[in-house]
Amino acid sequence: MLFKLTIVATVLAASASMAIAADQPIIGLITKTETNPFFVKMKEGAQEMATAKGAKLLSASGKSDGDNAGQVTAIENMIAAGAKTILITPSNSKAIVPAIKKARDQGIMVITLDSPTDPQSAVDALFATDNYKAGVLIGEYAKAAMKGKPAKIAMLDLLPGHPVGITRHNGFLSGFGAPGLDGKTMTLGKTADVVCMADSWGDQAKAQTVMENCLQKNPEINLVYTINEPAAAGAYKALKAAGKEKGVMIVSIDGGCTGIADVKAGMIAATSQQYPLKMAALGVAAGIDFAKTGKKASGYVDTGVTLITDKKQETVDSKDTNYGMGACWGKKS
């Protein structure tokens, strides 16, 4: 029985090998998870570009944020599938480096989307938002909107040691006027205005708990920085439960469609919008270019960030939520 099955398998394998088209460039996209809408958008952008330009897109992801082993496995499977370009949003900026090196040693072009590797030079190119600038924009906005009123700030951060979380955090404080925090600082800055700081893991439920505890610690909080809009939504729920939603300003980063709706509804004062769909589309285009010409992309490509608010401040450039809705996570840009 087993012997027969093996023979059938061999025959099937041989016949299948004739049916595959050979000259379509294969491009792999590896995201952190399958479920986060940010990555769903990213995949959409990649698929659209691949379909339009006649490339085959393979996708895979880790199981959860931080699942490095899953991403390493995905890289190996992409290589086995014959991908010549791999686009990846690394879950662990350092731990993924050896696996990326193995792929590049075989002549595969590797581009990181959204988050850098550590060191950034471990890949051919990085297509991402300038996270520091995204922070600076909402920091400057908050400074202007506070109109000189003394600030008591709660900061809902990402997770311990994550570079994207740290640069956004420091960008915000820098935009708000704190000196000496640049985009390369890799520790969380803290100023006298900051009365509460905690990790939200970018998760609405966790952020709500964190915000409740921050309010317990200091009921005077009047400005909330959040790592992303789910965290902002959690913070808003906590504020609302405490009857403080009117007097407290929330600023955030991401610019997802749900987040922009929350800005429109007045729950979030302003958000820095980034463009995952564009990151992925650019990545696929670079992969197709590489397949045709052998020319690799290189360096850092800023995919742009826009401040979105309906309560415009004269001193800070911004667009309104109608623009934000049209471009949420890169529909158009």
Sites of contact with other proteins (CB under 8 A): 2, 5-6, 8-10, 12-13, 15-20, 34, 56-61, 63-64, 66-69, 72-74, 76-78, 80-82, 91-92, 94-95, 97-99, 159-161
- The least distance separating other proteins from the CB of residue 90, rounded to whole angstroms, comes to 11
Residue 160 or 247: which CB sits closer to other proteins?
160
Residue 1 or 192: which CB sits closer to other proteins?
1
- The least distance separating other proteins from the CB of residue 159, rounded to whole angstroms, comes to 8
- The least distance separating other proteins from the CB of residue 12, rounded to whole angstroms, comes to 4
- The least distance separating other proteins from the CB of residue 57, rounded to whole angstroms, comes to 7
Residue 235 or 284: which CB sits closer to other proteins?
284
Residue 161 or 177: which CB sits closer to other proteins?
161
Spell out the SS3 assignment of the chain.
CHHHHHHHHHHHHHHHCCCCCCCCCEEEEEECCCCCHHHHHHHHHHHHHHHHHCCEEEEEECCCCCCHHHHHHHHHHHHHCCCCEEEECCCCCCCCHHHHHHHHHCCCEEEEECCCCCCHHHCCEEEECCHHHHHHHHHHHHHHHHCCCCCCEEEEECCCCCHHHHHHHHHHHHHCCCCCCCCCCCCCCCCCCEEEEEECCCCHHHHHHHHHHHHHHCCCCCEEEECCHHHHHHHHHHHHHCCCCCCCEEEEEECCHHHHHHHHCCCCCEEEECCHHHHHHHHHHHHHHHHHHCCCCCEEEECCCEEEECCCCCCCCCECHHHHHHCHHHCCC
- The least distance separating other proteins from the CB of residue 158, rounded to whole angstroms, comes to 12
Residue 67 or 289: which CB sits closer to other proteins?
67
Residue 161 or 266: which CB sits closer to other proteins?
161
- The least distance separating other proteins from the CB of residue 32, rounded to whole angstroms, comes to 11
